[in-house]
Structures are given as C-alpha cells and as structure tokens.
Amino acid sequence: MPVKTIDCDMLISVNNVSIIDVRSPKEFFQGHIFAAHNIPLFENEEREEVGKAYKQRGREDAIELGLKIVGSKLHEFISRTKKISPEKKIIIHCWRGGMRSESFAWLLNLAGFEVYKLHKGYKAYRNFVLQTFEKKIQIIILGGMTGSRKSEILKSIADAGEQIIDLESLANHKGSAFGQIGMHPQPTQEQFENNLSHALNKLDVTKPIWVEDESHAVGLVRIPNALFSQMREAPVVKIEVSKEERVKHLINGYASAPYGELKNALEKIQKRLGGLNTSLALDALEKKDFAAVASLSLEYYDKAYNFGLAKRSPYNIYNLALEKISDKENANKIIEYAYNNITYRKRS
C-alpha cells in the first residue's frame, strides 16, 4: 500500500488516526501537534552528530551515519508504533517532510501500516497554526474583577452549550502573580499556540465564542497578537460581584497553598502594591489572616483591571450585577443577558 500525503487542514477532521512525530525530543518539547506521539528517529545527541557530519563531510557521510544509528532501532520503532496504534493507521511527520519522515514511513509501510505523511511537515503545521489566529471570530469577553469566579462561570457557560476558549487552562496559569500556584508547568510559547489553535479549530467560528478577559501575557506565554487584537475589540460582559464574596473565593483558592509560594507572589507585586500594603500583607500572611491578604492584594488587582478596562470602548462594556454564588445560575443569567443586549448575538 503506497504512502499517502495529508495536508494540515485535514488534521481537523481526521479521526482515530495516531500522529507520530519523528523529530528529536528537544524539537518535540519546543512544540508539537496536539496529541502527537514522539518516536524520534534520532535522539538529541544523535541528531547533532548527523548534522555535524553533514556540515563537515557532506550529505553522503551524514546518510551513512544516520543509517548506522537507526539500524539497530528498526524493531523498536515498529513495536512502539503498534502500541500507539494497534489498528495500524498512522500519520507521520518530521520538520519539513524530508528524509526522517520518509524513512519512517517506508519502514511502517513495509510492516503493513496504513501510512499518511504530513505534507511539508511540522513547518507547514506551524504556518497553519498562525493562520488560525487571523480568522475573524465572534468573541464575547467574560470580564470582572479578580475573584469574581470568572473561570468557574466560564466552565458553566460551556456546560450550558456555549462555545468557549479556556485560555488559563491552555496556559496552565491563572493570569496573576499567584497564577502558577497549584498549576502544572506552563507550555512553551510554541506549544501554547499549537494547543490554542487546536481548540479554536474544533469550534464553529461563525458563532460566538466566550473568552475570559485576560492580559496579553498569561504567565510566561502570550496570546497571539492577531487573536488578542480581536479580544480587545470584542464586547465585554463585565460581571459585578461584591468584594466580600471575591475575598471568600480567593481564600478558598489559595489559603491552602504553601507559605513560600504565597510570599513570593506578594513580593512580585510589591512595587504596584506599595511598600506599606506589601508589609501589611506579608504580616497578615505570617499570621494566616488570609482575608486581609486577599483584601490588600485586591487593592492592586482592582486598579489594574479598571486601568485595562478603560482602554476599551465604553460602548463595548455591558455591566451585569451578580448576587448569587451559583456558577450554573449565573452562567445562564449571563448568557440570557448577552442574548438580549449584544446586537450580533442570535439565538440558535
């Protein structure tokens, strides 16, 4: 059975086909296709050796060295691929769709796999990813002060049947100086973009998509410029929750975190919080007065949020007061409010 070629846009609709990335572990870590498996033709050091041979002695010597390295691994390649895809149907790629993926595709084809090779490899996929963010989409921003339960409400909005993009989950960060506490390590910028593109491509961009209000940077990763520009122009449903309730929510979320992590987070915002408030917050933290820590921290975060909100058109901001704590009820109220007040929003 001949090896077939598949384009990047077809990855969206392909089901039950495993993707094998044959690049080195270092390349894979930097960024890879969502849900791809890494079976490297060359390990990091081996790839460097082959590259050095190519530069110093030429293509023929580099190929001979590559064959020598790979020769003893052929059975392992087949065995690992069978575990990933017992049905023996595989999409393979390397960086540009060159010798690494061609060699691996030849081997698997010989072993009876149905093999597809990604046209022009991961390089083409990255171009595809970046083009995703250029698409015009209908965004509704869920805004509100820190501690307003926006993340929890966003998930309830999804449960109600709406489309969402959860940027904080994709970034493994809650978007503040405290945002890395309790989270897994953040992805690389490249991987964040790949995962975000994958999430967007699963949605119907002709219908509204809810996104939580975020700064350009979410921890160490940045929302792609093209998408962030659309977010800044989008209508904002700004929920209004009492400071008392917001403090309670922050206590529930962070009071059990290690002392050192909370202290480091407070020190990160020291300049913005001010010397006196920082000293008071650190003293309160020492005494485990988490309500005081949260209340003092909000002095900075509320000002910062209002500063960012002031950069938006006031005609794009829709204020909605919430009195209940129920995320489900509030989500339904927000959705109904958007139906009735945002002009481009239509009932499906």
Q: Is the four-CA dihedral 312, 313, 318, 321 of positive or negative sign? A: positive
Angle between helices 99-110 and 74-84 (to 10 degrees): 80
Report how far residue 263's alpha carbon sits from residue 260's, in angstroms, rounded to the nearest whole number. Answer: 5
> How many C-beta atoms surround the C-beta of residue 274 within 10 A?
15
Low-confidence ranges of the chain (pLDDT < 70): 343-348
Measured in whole angstroms, how far is the alpha carbon of residue 271 from the centre of its chain?
Answer: 29
Asked if 117 and 103 touch (Cβ cutoff 8 Å), the reply is: no
Q: Which of 93, 81, 95, 76 is CA-nearest to residue 30?
A: 95
Q: Which CATH class is domain 4-130?
A: alpha beta
Question: Where does the chain hold its CATH 3.40.250.10 domain(s)?
Answer: 4-130
Report how far residue 34's alpha carbon sits from residue 311's, in angstroms, rounded to the nearest whole number. Answer: 34
- φ and ψ at 260, to 5 degrees? -60, -40
Question: What is the predicted pLDDT for the residue at 62?
Answer: 80
CA angle 139, 32, 48 (to 5 degrees): 150
Tell me the per-residue pLDDT of 12-23, one tens digit each, with 9 for 90 and over. 888 889 999 999
- φ and ψ at 196, to 5 degrees? -65, -45
Q: Which of 235, 233, 203 is CA-nearest to residue 316?
A: 235
Q: Which CATH number, 3.30.420, 1.20.140, 3.30.1330, 3.40.50, labels domain 136-341?
A: 3.40.50
**What's the predicted TM-score (pTM) here?**
0.94
Strands 217-218 and 221-222: antiparallel
Q: Checking phi first, is residue 7 left (phi over 0); if not, alpha (psi -120 to 50) or beta?
A: beta
Joined together, the tokens standing for residue 170 give 């994709």
Encoded amino acid at 344, one letter: Y
Asked if 263 and 282 touch (Cβ cutoff 8 Å), the reply is: yes
Is 94 annotated as catalytic? yes
Tell me the per-residue pLDDT of 233-261, one tens digit each, with 9 for 90 and over. 999 999 999 999 999 999 999 999 999 99
Question: Where does the chain hold its CATH 3.40.50 domain(s)?
Answer: 136-341
Question: What is the predicted pLDDT for the residue at 348?
Answer: 46
Q: Which of 94, 199, 237, 285 is catalytic?
A: 94
Asked if 193 and 165 touch (Cβ cutoff 8 Å), the reply is: no
Question: Can you list the alpha helix ranges (DSSP code H) found in the chain?
Answer: 25-30, 44-57, 59-71, 74-84, 99-110, 121-132, 150-159, 167-171, 189-201, 225-233, 243-254, 259-268, 270-273, 275-286, 290-309, 327-341
Q: Which of 92, 94, 99 is CA-nearest to residue 113?
A: 92
Question: What is the predicted pLDDT for the residue at 347?
Answer: 45
Tokens 């930097």 appear where?
A: 30
Asked if 147 and 294 touch (Cβ cutoff 8 Å), the reply is: yes
- φ and ψ at 288, to 5 degrees? 60, 30
